[in-house]
Structure 1
């Protein structure tokens, strides 16, 4: 249709427009509304973000590293255990209650315990929290994907004298890949959020979450919100990277 906006441009422009309108509404609320003192204007936050960019970037790297390690370890463990659960029913029976228990663990409750267990100078507690958060959606999605193959397709391969390994490579794995990528995309956001929460509740005196807590308590609201912006950038980066990987993998996956 002549004059129609390309879908690709619309996907890029729509979030930008929403962000600009949100910042404008935020500025109006701070200037003319009954905004609390702890809420600075977007211009003040942007000024602090630009002025302190070097320090904020260093803290972002620490948080992103914790989230990336948690995402990677959680994904690998989830794929292995989901494969075992899909193959052997006894293992599925043993893992089901464990996964259900992990899924309902409140992050804010377990984080201080892990930080205390592994010491105030170790990042391991934070990475463990991110691992737990990433593990659940990947495990659930991969297990579901591994169980999506139709019996008629398996029977057809069996009738063709295909081995178990060939059946897995040609049928089970391609069917499960889209589910895996969906799980990873969800887990990426959860890993970042969990890493930020873990930093907020103790451990080493670094990371975006720790800086947010420190400057919010000291009354430097603009700088605290600047670090919140850094956390948002980490989450967006993880989302975009995993979405890109998902598009590439699903595009090249066999039909």
Structure 2
């Protein structure tokens, strides 16, 4: 790839990144062009971007209002970008404000009951959303929680905290695992059941059962990079059937463990 193409690609990437930070396409193009020029008139900016000259004026004035450009009142008018460290701080602060405003509004709008309707199955993709859902389901438990944690990494700090807090309210909490190191997490009323070497566990992934009626099953995908997908169902007939299978498998494993 020649240098001109590399430069063009770098500028496109910079423009896309600035758009992600909240600038319009024209604003991003003007800002990038001025980085290369160091400063310039509307005509010079237009020649070094895909922004029509007639659109440069309003776009540059808008950037100046945000504190991203200096306007030199010469004839013709000249624009000069502020220091990149200043621009980074201004855009970051603006993004944080808009993010906070959006999620504060969403918090006010969202329904308090986010469980699937009777008989429905919900799906999730991504480790963090699944971790959050597991912790939320544990927090809603009334009597029983069983969490299958194939590895130590499966039991995140967030989930461990949710399990301990549930146990502190009188909920029966059990962690089933093949990882001996998790015995050390058997505190705060949380029982850790480690499958023995004579009765090895072959878990497909993480699993959660709450109150014998809510079940979440999660497994890693074959995608690259590897992700985690999960399905869960709330207080439903499907949930109770899956819970019965989990309960039966756990009791069978305990019996074999006692016999070994």
TM-score category by the smaller chain?
Answer: under 0.3
Give 1 or 2: higher strand fraction.
2
Which fold has the larger relative contact order, with Cα–Cα distance below 8 Å and residues 6 or more apart in sequence?
Answer: 1
> More helix by proportion, 1 or 2?
1
Question: Could you state the TM-score of these two structures normalised by the residue count of structure 1?
Answer: 0.22
TM (normalized to structure 2)? Answer: 0.21
> Whose Rg is larger?
2
